[in-house]
Structures are given as C-alpha cells and as structure tokens.
Structure 1
Amino acid sequence: MPLIRRIDLRGADESVDYRSAVPRADFDVEAAVPAVHAICEEVRTGGVEAIKSLGERFDGVRVDDLRVPSEELTAALEQLDPQIRAGLEESVRRLRATCANELEADAVTDLGPGARVTHRKVPVGRVGLYVPGGLAPLVSSVLMNVVPAQVAGVGSIALASPPQREFGGSVHPTILAACALLGVEEVYAVGGAQAIAMFAYGVGECRKVDLVTGPGNIYVVTAKRLLKGQVGIDSEAGPTEIAILADDTADAAFVAADLISQAEHDPLAASVLVTTSETLADDVDAELDKQVSATKHVERIRTSLTGPQSGTVLVRDLEQGLAVVDAYAAEHLEIHTVDASSWAARVRNAGAIFVGSYAPVSLGDYCAGSNHVLPTGGCACHSSGLSVRAFTKSVHVVDYSREGLSDVADHVVTLAEAEDLPGHGAAVRVRFE
C-alpha cells in the first residue's frame, strides 16, 4: 500500500471546490485559544517568574536568567564548525543582496504648484524575532528574520528561542552562533506562547516590541493571533507544506526527495503532489518507499506522508493542475514540467515558487537568497512571505503651500459640508480670511 494517499480529480467539473478537495492539515488555532490565553495572562501578570515557570512546564528546564549572556554568544560563534559558519555566511550574503533590492525609495508626487505628497517607507523601531527550537534547531530562521530587519534599518532587535535542557537551559549553541555572526546581542531563552507574550507586553529586560515575526507551533501561532492588538505580527504561519506540480517529464526520485524534505519538519507537515501522469505517481510511490526507509527521521516522515494533509492529486492536464495549486495556495510550490518557467509565471497563489528540477525547496530554506518564512494554510492567496517590507511601514508626508491649498480649498469645504463636518471646512477657510 502506498505511503501517500491518492485523489483523482481528472473527472471533476467546474462545480468542484479544489480548495476543499486537496489535502490540508488540521491546524485548529481556535481550539488552542483558551490554553494560550491563560499563558499570555500568566506572563502579563506574573512577569519573569511566570515565564520561568512556563519554561519549566513546557520545555522541561528552569532558566535562571532569561537573557543569554553576551559571552555565551561569543563563545558559541568561536566554537562553531567552520563549514557551518561558511554556509551561514554564504546564505547571509545572498539574502542581504536580495533584501537590498527590495528597499523602496520615497515616492514623491507633485500635484500642482506647492502641492506635494511623499510616500515614505520608515523602518519599525523595535522587533521581536522568534526562532523555533523544538524538533530541530532552525538556525536558518535566525538569518531569515534578522537579515531583512537589519536591511530595513530596524534599530532594535530582540530574538527568542526555546531553552534546551541538553544545553543547561540556554538556547541551542548553533542558534546563538548565528546571532553572534549577525551582531544580534539581545537573545532570550524563552519559547512558545510565553515568548510572544514577553515581546508584546515587555517583561524584565525585554522592552515591548512593535512587531513580532517568525514561525512556530500552534501555541506560537495562537499567541500571535491573540496579541496582534498589542503588537504587530507578520503572519500566522503553521506547519510547513509543499506542493509539486509535475507532468510526465518529472524525475520521480527528485519529486519524492522533495516531498520527504518537508515531511521531515513536522508530523503535521503537508506534502502534496499534483500531476497529470499516473505513471509518475506510481514511480513516486515506489521512490517514497525506498527513500523514506533510508532517512533519519523515519517515524516523523511516515506520520506526515500518511496523514490527511498529504497526498497525490491526479489531474487531466496542466491547466487543471494550475487551478488546483492556485486553490491550494501552498507555502512552497515546485514546478516540474516542460516549460516550467511559463507555468510558474501564471501561478497567482504561493508563498514561494521553485522553478524546474534544480530548484528544490531545501535550496530556498538555506541559500537561494529568498526568505523561507512564508504563509501557510492557504494564506498565500492574500499574504506574502517575510521580506524587508514586513519591517517597514508607510507614512504619507503632505507638504502644501498657501497656493497649493487654495487650489482645492473650495472642494474641501464642499466635501466637509456634505459629511456634516463644518469644522473641517472652517479649518481651511480660516487660512484665507
């Protein structure tokens, strides 16, 4: 029996809702709200001691000081494997280059003599970055959060990651090394919802932030939802997901390996193949049987691939396949087809698109120069991945002279009276009396 279930949409008509027909993880944020609300309240009212107690409860270790000492950051970088450091440095180099190209210049519009509006992009003042450390120490997420914030010009950066019992309650040393490499000095050994609450309320040494970014488990996602009135958030990113649109030219070994690469993240991770070829689907099943048994995290991967969130979807042609992947709105979408670039150009909904056989998602996770903090759960139909823009906000600067105001004064007065707001009109008239 194949590891991954199969769904046949070749006979589907236009009435079929592809969004509900394609596999999707059961990620019920609402169900977690009561527990996460209680955690956030504990942090708000109990401060540092509450965070320490919550860390002991959820991470199995009690931390003496939430903030990691600077000498520990320095030591972690000094002890970092040179090959890992080289990989991080190359990833940072590429990411900084793409981020620099995302910076937006002020847009100045002259509407007449003495009438100018400038659309200015301003960096957020202070951000809290979250880096998961549960099933795996996601050192790459340090880079993906920090680099665009730095390029945007954010002046104050704090980072939190779960305390590790293996390392005496500190953050994983590879994560600490990445922080030191990037010059991030404010690091906290705090995980889960309590980290998001610490950022939102300002607790102990950690001053309140303006924006929280970074992926996390359902507790982190729920805390973001509950606290976004207190603090800005990037998105509610849940378990990772990959969709692959493929025809009969695709390499089954490549496709299977890429499905496995995302399943490796989490038992709730979603791996979805959308293909026009039943032969490819069969070959991918055979490759999954062979490749999964040779992986390190066999049980985690099997749970993900056999779960309701994963599957192979058969479509009659690539036009239907495009409609299916657009409806699914995957976090990561790979295109393994003839003329992959043309099909990729027509995709509307995806967090990131990987074109052709030699652009696997794992490239984007580390060294493509793209960002891997992306919208999940279908949110790519309305949301974007993390970028420099996420760390900036827009301000309109209105610069009018007396002449400029006089050109539209009558219109302002008329519209103010139409809204029964005569004081608005008077504020203009007084300037010409």
Structure 2
Amino acid sequence: MTTTDHLADPTATTLLRFATAGSVDDGKSTLVGRLLHDSKSVLSDQLEAVTRVSQGRGQDAPDLALLTDGLRAEREQGITIDVAYRYFATPLRRFILADTPGHVQYTRNMVTGASTAELTVILVDARNGVVEQTRRHAAIAALLRVPHVVLAVNKMDLVGYEERVFARIAEEFTAYARELGVPEVTAIPISALVGDNVVEASATMDWYGGPTVLEHLETVPVSHDLAHCHARLPVQYVIRPGTPEHRDYRGYAGQIAAGTFRVGEPVTVLPSGRTSTISGIDLLGTPVDVAWTPQSVTVLLDDDLDISRGDLIVPSEDAPATTQDVEATVCHVADQPLTEGQRVLLKHTTRTVKAIVKEIPSRLTLDDLSQHPRPGRLVANDIGRVKVRTAEPLALDSYEDSRRTGSFLLIDPADGTTLAAGMAGDAFSAEHTPVAASDDDGWDF
C-alpha cells in the first residue's frame, strides 16, 4: 500500500485509549465493569468467577467492580491500588482502558494511566460533588494534555435522579476545568451500579438528552491527522545483514513516533545534524513508498551516515533544535526523593544519556494550582518544574506539540529505578552554571 487512503475508510475501526479517575468509592471500577458487562465484552468464565466471589461476600448480585480489580490485595481491601488495564471492542471502536486508583498517595498511578490516554473519565459522587481529589485529577488531565474529559456524575440513584444536583456539579467542574485550559468537558449523569446512562439510556432521567458513556466513547473524535504531525523516527536498531545478496544493505529500524515518512524525502539525523534522503522504506519486509505512526519500519538512506541507536530521523524542513539544558515539568513516581545536584539518567525515546538535576524551581500544589518556590526536592506524587543538564544534546519537542517526543524519564543510574516522568517545555536560555561531581567519573558537564 503506497497511500494513506485507507485512513479515510469509514468501515475501519479506530482505537481509543482512555482512563478513569476519581475519589475513593466514587465507583470507577463499577463503571468499567458495567461497561464491559453491558457491552457484552466479558467472557462467561470471568463473569462466573466474579459471581462466585460476590456470593462469598454475601452479595446477591455480581460485583462488577471485580472485573477490573485484578490484584488479590485489591480484592481483599475492596479498593483499587494499581492501574488495571482492560481491552474491549464494540462494532464501532476498539478500546484500551486504564482504571486508576483514587487515593491521594496513588496520584502517580493516574499519571501513568492518563499519559497515553486520549480521553479521561473523571467520576464524581453525586452526594459529595467536586472534592479536592476531583480537582487534582482535572489538573493532571490538563497537565498531560488529554484532549477530552468526561465528567461522570455517578450514584444519581442516591440523590433521587435530581437534575439540579447534576447541573450544579457539572457547572462547578466545568468552570474549574476551563481555568486549567481543558479544551472539552462532557458531563453525563449516571448510575454505574444500576446501569443508567452507561451503555443504555436511563429511563428515569428523561431530562438528560445527551449521549451515554459508551455512545460518547464510540463517537468522540480521535485525532490521527498524520499530515500535520511532526514526523519523528527514533532509531532502535541498525540492520546490516552482511550476506552476499545484501552486502550493501544498511537500514535504520524503529517505530515511527509521530507523523509520516515518504521515499524521496530529505531528512536530518539528530543530534549530529547530518542530512540525507530516504531511498527506501521496508514495512514487514515489503518495500513501501510511505509509512506513518505507529508503524515499525526500516528506513534506507542515500548516504552512508554514522547512525546508531538513540539517533532521531526527522524531515529536514521540520527538525527540532537540540539542547543540553532541559526545563520541564515532572511527576515524581519513586519513593526515594529527587534532589538538586542529583545524578540521573534521562531516557528520551530510544536515547539514554547521563544528566544532572541542576535546579528544582517550584512544586505544584494541585489543590489550588499555586506554585511552591524552590522546594529543594520532590517526593512521591509531587509535580514540579526541574532544570536538567545532559551530557549529550537531545532533540526534544515541546510536550504540548508532541506527547511522544516531548516526554522523557529520569532514571536512577544505580539500580534502574524510574524516578520521574517528564514533560518538556521550552529549553531555558539562562547562562549555565556547571554542577560538578565530587570525583572524576564522567558526570562533570
């Protein structure tokens, strides 16, 4: 196939990644279980197992929350601790969902679940309204640039299905989300336990004329406009067969992170800045004229360049600047703190380089969106700004422009623990003051 015409095929199903979030006991797992159950996406043996566990607890009906609470510890405590991923499909769309925990101390898990999501469902208990954790989850969705947010006002059956209760909560949340810059909020009144407005429209809320949760998930636009993406190919492996019939073959293999590449297109290899032209693209062993994200391909170039794992192939007319000074927002996910002067590894796409945390200018208070200046360190679940100096130049896009090539990880070089997930902003231009290590171990840069 040499064109992207198939992308306009109305019969082709699309993929939607979405995450659920909310305070403890708001009914996230029950909502997801209801989605799976009512959309006929649950296998009979799974439902039987849930029914047995529910009966063992003395419950008359199956507890649908157990369909997502997959860990034994979670089941015993009756809460969701880890991110539970589930996969299901309807005739209109395929779905990957992440059911994230509601506890404040597991805010980092929501960052994990929502980092690749195109939609976030934030649940609110209709009896409690918008609470601090609701505002936290809205702030994280805005920070991670999740394009679509659904406010699911749950447990409407416990407030008499009152329209005024729903309207008050929807108005308060929408106003707060607008302050955060959330581009779109869709509010839906539901009862996950009963099934109102989850898959089937509610017969008791005739005052609501909008879509059910599943209808919205099936029809919300999923942006895959490849023509306007920044094309990026991180090199994962250099292929040189060495056989007589492929003596001159040199291919650069990897998964296209964004955009489209075409044979004959001038490209630049970063961070070296060397240029060439694409002479061929192999997809699953077959030559093609064009390839796009998220395909895994092998690219051949006209020139014999020194390219290795971690290099980035980009269109020459759309090459990002390289920098060793990175300023970014990070979510700290490790139990050990991140401190100024700390030596770390920075992993960006397939490239990993040594780095030093120069400064932690601020920490974000999610409750009121205020900035706590110069905290000195970040601990688990903290979100803050960092300035990092890398040993080698990196080609980072702004996270606002590309969630794939604008993100990175900070890693403990001692044991490989992931310390923080980063979202790159503009590289700062302040004069660099070196942070020197105490011994000559290659970390002075």
Q: TM-score range by the shorter chain?
A: under 0.3
TM-score, with structure 1 as normaliser = 0.24
Higher strand proportion, which one? 2
Alignment TM-score, normalising by the size of structure 2? 0.24
Which has a greater percent of helix?
A: 1
Structure having greater relative contact order (Cα 8 Å, sep ≥ 6): 1
